[in-house]
Chains A and B, each alone.
Chain A
Amino acid sequence: MIFEYEVSGDDYSLAGRASSDIKKKLKQLGIPSPVIKKTAISMYEAEINMVIHADGGKIVVTLNPEQIKIVLEDTGPGIPDLDQAMQEGYTTACEAARELGFGAGMGLMNIQRNSDSLHIDTVIGQGTTVTILLYMNG
């Protein structure tokens, strides 16, 4: 089953809507709550990133009995140094975002910790695609 979300890039107050909706759906499907929590944390973090760093984009969530696949695609600036971005505390968030408590880091580490697999494709000036996988029995 596939769910698609358009994420707007200029309204921080709306950031997190897609994650909330997916969370609600996973609860309706009876997915074990530790899996829901991991999905919530990793997808939320990635969704916020998309708003702060990339002007929004598109999220596609695919559910099947074995796994949850979340693909976040943006046409933003791309991540110049992925290794550096994966480090704890690294941030390029603008002042406005930081004041809201977002962007203390890009949270990629956090996504990695809370997902079963994380894959990032990024091209400078063209955009980033983040793919997160979570296993239902994981």
Chain B
Amino acid sequence: MPVKYFHSVTLDEALCKGCTVCIKGCPTEAIRVQKGRAWITAERCIDCGECIRTCPSGAKKAISDPLSMLDDFDFKIAIPAPTLYGQFPVTLSCNKILTALKSMGFDDVFEVAVAAEILSRETRDYLKQQNSDNPLISSSCPVVVRLVETRFPSLIDQLVPMISPMELSARIVKDKYKDRTDRVGVFFISPCAAKVTDVKTPRGIVKSSVDGVIGIKDIFKELSHAVNHVENEENLNRARAIGISWARTDGEGSAVHSENHISVDGIDHVIDVLENLENGHIKNVDFVEMMSCPGGCVGGPLTVENPYIARNIITSRERSHQAPMEHDSSGEGYNTIDMIGLQWTEEIESCATHLLDPDYKKAMEMMEEMEIIRQGLPGLDCGSCGAPSCKALAEDIVRGKTTETDCVFMLREKIRELTREMIELESRLPPGLDR
């Protein structure tokens, strides 16, 4: 089956200066600078948004859906990520934020945090049933799932095979309005670029129930105005502390009530811990929460508030939402959950993006050649060639994508050689004069 690549993270060519800052920060070495601009290799990009954070010119963008997409549907429901609550001061209640959001053209809102609570409980039960020595890895961050399938396929079996809170929310509302005959549209209000990718090309399920993903930053201005103009706030907030906490690091980790869990955030730390998991170095741990963004989703590339401030707001809101889950005690009705299904139905396939060649012998030859080329390069990892390191350049050369003279030092060496040859030639006299 051919792998389809869709990416929400893209480049605005007009803004790119070719400065090479982004190639260094990309955790999967997916970016090269050539012909004065950056190029992203689709197979390697995991949509972590790291380049969006580092590009000094704002040339890396995340494509999300425009609010105008609402016009394509008759009945519209917003499903906001818990992170949204961290974007407004605690003095503005969750109800006020939700009422304002609803007023922007939605017929209903349903908090993703509520689905997160349900999933916390399910994951808790799932963990209890496991009796393997290998820790389970959270699959709620789509970047982590993509990282595992491309770079750590030996850990695929350790991923918790459950849909994300976003997906569950969409399924719950689609179920709630299943009798409507008009077009029902569900929109995720997102801190996350990778969720756009996850909706278009999901993993673990066949098709996403989400119809559109709208970046928090893209509606923030309008939403702030709306928040300030709410007169009668509706009682829309159901989510409690547990669900809200998923917005920050260790929210999910604590919510699953595992005695020995670790929580990791930031893509570099995530990679480091995945390496350690693969080495078997992480023992006596039963659950690993992994969030690609610094601080968790509060640090997502589509947010507006500083992640540390947002995290602080989230923890304050958790304190004021300590009462038990309403839908648990009042039985307000998510009892259809069993029918909706929370587990993955599709296998996650390993797709090794760093493979040199499918033929082992050929790959081996390429690797040998790569070693020789690398030894000839200066080893400064300066990035002037447009590749993140000399090693990466050596790989590009072997893959036939570029040549040694991309390296400025090699180029200078070549020029020197040529100059020597020219001087040598210049000193030779025509045979008639040479005596």
A residues near B (Cβ < 8 Å) are 1, 16, 19-20, 23-25, 27-30, 33-34, 36-37, 40-41, 44-45, 63, 65, 101, 110, 114
Q: How far is the CA of A44 from the CA of B364 in the complex (A)?
A: 23
Q: How far is the CA of A5 from the CA of B352 in the complex (A)?
A: 25
Q: Does B12 have its Cβ within 8 Å of any Cβ on chain A?
A: no
The list of the 4 closest CB pairs from A to B, nearest first, reads A41-B280, A33-B154, A44-B279, A37-B154
B360 interface neighbour in A25, A29, A36, A37, Cβ under 8 Å: A29
Asked if A19 contacts B354 (CB within 8 A), the reply is no
**A residues less than 8 Å from B279 (CB atoms):** 16, 19, 40-41, 44-45
Q: How far is the CA of A94 from the CA of B403 in the complex (A)?
A: 49
Q: Does B10 have its Cβ within 8 Å of any Cβ on chain A?
A: no
A27 interface neighbour in B151, B357, B360, Cβ under 8 Å: B151
In the assembled complex, 11 residue pairs joining A and B whose CB atoms fall closer than 8 Å, in A order, are A1-B368, A27-B354, A28-B354, A28-B356, A29-B363, A30-B352, A33-B350, A37-B278, A41-B278, A41-B279, A65-B360
**B residues less than 8 Å from A34 (CB atoms):** 154
* Given A28-B355, A29-B356, A41-B279, A1-B154 contact (CB < 8 Å): no
Q: Does B348 have its Cβ within 8 Å of any Cβ on chain A?
A: no
Q: Does B281 have its Cβ within 8 Å of any Cβ on chain A?
A: yes
Q: Does B367 have its Cβ within 8 Å of any Cβ on chain A?
A: yes
Nearest-neighbour CB distance to chain B for A18, whole angstroms, equals 12
Asked if B354 contacts A24 (CB within 8 A), the reply is yes
From A20, A33, A110, name the one whose CB has the most chain B CB atoms within 10 angstroms: A33
**A residues less than 8 Å from B211 (CB atoms):** none
Asked if A30 contacts B275 (CB within 8 A), the reply is no
**B residues less than 8 Å from A30 (CB atoms):** 352, 355-358, 360, 363
**A residues less than 8 Å from B25 (CB atoms):** none
* Given A34-B154, A37-B154, A29-B364 contact (CB < 8 Å): yes
Q: How far is the CA of A101 from the CA of B356 in the complex (A)?
A: 36
**A residues less than 8 Å from B360 (CB atoms):** 29-30, 65
**A residues less than 8 Å from B275 (CB atoms):** 20, 23
Asked if B278 contacts A23 (CB within 8 A), the reply is yes
Q: Does B4 have its Cβ within 8 Å of any Cβ on chain A?
A: no
Asked if A27 contacts B355 (CB within 8 A), the reply is yes
Q: Does B202 have its Cβ within 8 Å of any Cβ on chain A?
A: no
Digitize B1-29: 1 where CB-to-A-CB distance is under 8 Å, 0 elsewhere: 00000000000000000000000000000
Q: How far is the CA of A44 from the CA of B350 in the complex (A)?
A: 23
**B residues less than 8 Å from A16 (CB atoms):** 279, 281
Nearest-neighbour CB distance to chain A for B244, whole angstroms, equals 33
Q: How far is the CA of A107 from the CA of B321 in the complex (A)?
A: 47
Within 8 A of A (CB), among B198-227: none
Q: Does B266 have its Cβ within 8 Å of any Cβ on chain A?
A: no
Q: Does B153 have its Cβ within 8 Å of any Cβ on chain A?
A: yes
Nearest-neighbour CB distance to chain B for A134, whole angstroms, equals 13
* Given A24-B354, A25-B367, A27-B355, A33-B280 contact (CB < 8 Å): no
Nearest-neighbour CB distance to chain B for A104, whole angstroms, equals 8
Digitize B147-176: 1 where CB-to-A-CB distance is under 8 Å, 0 elsewhere: 000010110000000000000000000000
A110 interface neighbour in B280, B352, B364, Cβ under 8 Å: B280
Digitize B340-381: 1 where CB-to-A-CB distance is under 8 Å, 0 elsewhere: 000000000010101111101101100110000000000000
Nearest-neighbour CB distance to chain B for A43, whole angstroms, equals 8
Q: Which residue of A lies closest to B153 (CB)?
A: A33
Q: Which residue of A lies closest to B278 (CB)?
A: A40
**B residues less than 8 Å from A101 (CB atoms):** 281
* Given A27-B355, A30-B358, A114-B280 contact (CB < 8 Å): yes
Given A29-B360, A30-B363, A37-B278, 11 further pairs, Cβ under 8 A: A16-B279, A27-B151, A28-B354, A28-B355, A28-B367, A30-B357, A33-B350, A37-B154, A41-B279, A44-B281, A65-B361
Asked if B364 contacts A63 (CB within 8 A), the reply is yes
* Given A1-B364, A28-B356, A65-B360, A40-B350 contact (CB < 8 Å): no
**A residues less than 8 Å from B363 (CB atoms):** 28-30
Q: Which residue of B lies closest to A20 (CB)?
A: B275
Nearest-neighbour CB distance to chain B for A44, whole angstroms, equals 4
Asked if A29 contacts B367 (CB within 8 A), the reply is yes
**A residues less than 8 Å from B350 (CB atoms):** 33
Nearest-neighbour CB distance to chain B for A59, whole angstroms, equals 15
**B residues less than 8 Å from A110 (CB atoms):** 280
Q: How far is the CA of A40 from the CA of B280 in the complex (A)?
A: 8
**A residues less than 8 Å from B278 (CB atoms):** 23, 36-37, 40-41
Nearest-neighbour CB distance to chain A for B395, whole angstroms, equals 8
**B residues less than 8 Å from A27 (CB atoms):** 151, 352, 354-355
Q: How far is the CA of A125 from the CA of B364 in the complex (A)?
A: 39
Q: How far is the CA of A34 from the CA of B155 in the complex (A)?
A: 9
**A residues less than 8 Å from B357 (CB atoms):** 30
Q: How far is the CA of A24 from the CA of B29 in the complex (A)?
A: 13
From B151, B280, B363, name the one whose CB has the most chain A CB atoms within 10 angstroms: B280
Q: How far is the CA of A57 from the CA of B107 in the complex (A)?
A: 68
**A residues less than 8 Å from B364 (CB atoms):** 1, 29, 63, 65
Nearest-neighbour CB distance to chain A for B133, whole angstroms, equals 11
Nearest-neighbour CB distance to chain A for B124, whole angstroms, equals 26
Nearest-neighbour CB distance to chain A for B382, whole angstroms, equals 21
